């Protein structure tokens, strides 16, 4: 477990980087910009990172790990999971996105790095594919195609929500996802 002071410092660096990305391109951001925005000294930055790219990679890794946890939450905690019994309060992916708004704004705007949107979809697809048998038992759908469809559909909802400045609550987004999933289920029957 990381020391609380270290977590606080790293969070300040991450927040500084993400806010700076609203103002300029990553390649134009300097370590000096980051430490000044984070209000932390330069030596502390170099204690944790060799360069700004290391910070960006850590931010991306941390958020994608949290995304995976949020995505899996409904069926990891259920004794007997089924899409039909899924409730909005069980869907945590939108809580995750809402908690990391600044990150997702930068990701959708392609400010983190080129092709990152595809990487984000690939993460969701990999999780969906890995857990296909648990989530969608009994379907005759090709797992690879189904996981691709699901990842891009969820990502599409995230893009829309982000581009509309998170006008809806995470709970509303979860409800809408379930309406869409249930419409897909009834359409396929």
Question: How would you classify residue 171: left for phi > 0, otherwise alpha for psi between -120 and 50, otherwise beta?
Answer: alpha
In 3-state terms, the chain is what percent helix, strand and coil (to 5)? 75, 0, 25
CATH code, residues 79-188? 1.10.357.10
Task: Tell me the C-alpha distance between 42 and 112, whole Å.
Answer: 22
Q: For residue range 113-153, what is the model confidence (pLDDT) as tens digits?
A: 888 888 888 988 988 887 666 565 667 778 888 889 888 99
- The tens digit of pLDDT for each residue in 159-178 reads 999 999 999 999 999 999 98
- Spatial contact of 142 and 125, defined as CB atoms under 8 Å apart: no
Query: What is this structure's pTM?
Result: 0.84
- Where along the chain do its domains lie? 79-188
Largest pairwise CA distance in the chain: 61
């Amino acid at each position: 477990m990381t020391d609380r002071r270290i977590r606080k410092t790293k969070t300040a660096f991450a927040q500084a980087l993400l806010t700076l990305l609203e103002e300029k391109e990553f390649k134009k951001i300097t370590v000096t910009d980051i430490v000044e925005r984070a209000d932390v000294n330069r030596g502390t930055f170099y204690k944790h990172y060799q360069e700004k790219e290391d910070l960006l990679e850590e931010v991306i890794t941390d958020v994608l790990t949290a995304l995976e946890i949020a995505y899996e939450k409904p069926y990891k905690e259920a004794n007997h999971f089924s899409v039909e019994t899924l409730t909005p309060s069980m869907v945590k992916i939108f809580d995750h996105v809402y908690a990391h708004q600044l990150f997702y704004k930068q990701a959708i705007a392609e400010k983190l790095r080129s092709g990152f949107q595809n990487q984000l979809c690939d993460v969701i697809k990999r999780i969906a594919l890995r857990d296909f048998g648990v989530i969608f038992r009994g379907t005759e759908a090709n797992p690879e195609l189904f996981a691709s469809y699901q990842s891009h559909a969820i990502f599409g909802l995230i893009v829309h929500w982000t581009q509309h400045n998170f006008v809806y609550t995470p709970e509303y987004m979860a409800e809408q996802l379930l309406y869409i999933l249930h419409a897909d289920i009834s359409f396929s029957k």
